[in-house]
């Protein structure tokens, strides 16, 4: 009886399909779902650490609708209260209350003088902006290494290396490069939290690799994805109101 039983057990094991490694598209889709959910309202804080040792802290309300609409309202410090940023598709603006008008922004300009750029904050759209491949990284057996190349000038960087944990596909580390391969920034993801059913990093530290005394921290106090903001909130004429 032993031989048939062994053969039967072996047959069952062979019938179990192997779990396929994720594709680059699947990893990009997961990152977009985690870091740029379709609709959300959040309260976030950024602290920029400058070369001279000083810091500047910001508190902001962020509202997002669909893939291409985002509105950010600064709540602190007092010097920027009333400023707002708007994304409509590929276009970014900042509303200046002292001028009572909006000014166009470039996607790769520094966000409020920190080490994130505008596209880092206002545009998380890796599936649309990059082509990718999954490559082996012997130094990080616990993570998938996703290498990305920009396919549009609206992308936040020309090249990205992104490590995502195999256990849950959470991002853990990012490196951001010029087209020539020069390392510009390095991001560390941490403080994973459950925001109303969405578990994702609650903190990103972005280190400036060109001025190593500089770095910026982005933290999320709240993030609510059970929201469907009205389209009127994302009109240029609504800024400042």
Distances (CA, A) of 194 to 61, 163, 199: 19, 20, 4
All structural domains of the chain, each given as residue ranges with its CATH number in brackets, are 22-238 (2.50.20.10)
- Token pair recorded at residue 9: 């057990």
Residues in the chain: 241
- Token pair recorded at residue 239: 């800024």
On whether the CB atoms of residues 34 and 26 are closer than 8 A, the answer is: no
Please tell me what DSSP assigns to residue 153. T
On whether the CB atoms of residues 132 and 144 are closer than 8 A, the answer is: no
Rounded (10°) CA dihedral 86, 25, 27, 147: -90
Please tell me what DSSP assigns to residue 233. G
CA distance 196 to 94: 30
pLDDT tens per residue, the chain (241 residues)?
454 544 444 454 455 555 589 999 999 999 999 999 999 999 999 999 999 999 999 999 999 999 999 999 999 999 999 999 999 999 999 999 999 999 999 999 999 999 999 999 999 999 999 999 999 899 999 999 999 999 988 899 999 999 999 999 999 999 999 999 999 999 999 999 999 999 999 999 999 999 999 999 999 999 999 999 999 999 999 999 8
């Amino acid at each position: 009886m032993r031989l048939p039983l062994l053969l039967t057990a072996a047959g069952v094991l062979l019938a179990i399909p192997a779990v396929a490694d994720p594709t680059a598209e699947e990893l990009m889709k997961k990152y977009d779902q985690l870091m740029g959910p379709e609709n959300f309202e959040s309260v976030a804080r950024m602290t920029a650490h400058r070369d001279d040792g000083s810091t500047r802290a910001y508190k902001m309300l962020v509202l997002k609708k669909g893939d291409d609409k985002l509105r950010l309202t600064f709540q602190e410090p007092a010097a920027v209260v009333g400023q707002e940023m708007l994304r409509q598709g590929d276009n970014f603006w900042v509303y200046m209350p002292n001028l009572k008008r909006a000014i166009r922004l470039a996607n790769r300009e520094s966000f409020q003088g920190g080490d994130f750029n505008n596209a880092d904050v206002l545009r998380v759209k890796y599936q649309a902006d990059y082509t990718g491949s999954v490559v082996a990284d012997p130094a990080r057996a616990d993570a998938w290494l996703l290498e990305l190349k920009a396919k549009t000038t609206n992308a936040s960087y020309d090249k990205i290396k992104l490590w995502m944990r195999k256990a849950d596909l959470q991002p853990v580390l990012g490196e951001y490069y010029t087209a020539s391969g020069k390392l510009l920034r390095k991001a560390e993801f941490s403080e994973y939290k459950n925001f109303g059913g969405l578990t994702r990093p609650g903190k990103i530290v972005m280190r400036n690799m060109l001025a190593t005394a500089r770095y910026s921290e982005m933290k999320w106090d709240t993030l609510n994805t059970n929201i469907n903001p009205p389209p009127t909130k994302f009109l240029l004429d609504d800024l400042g109101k």
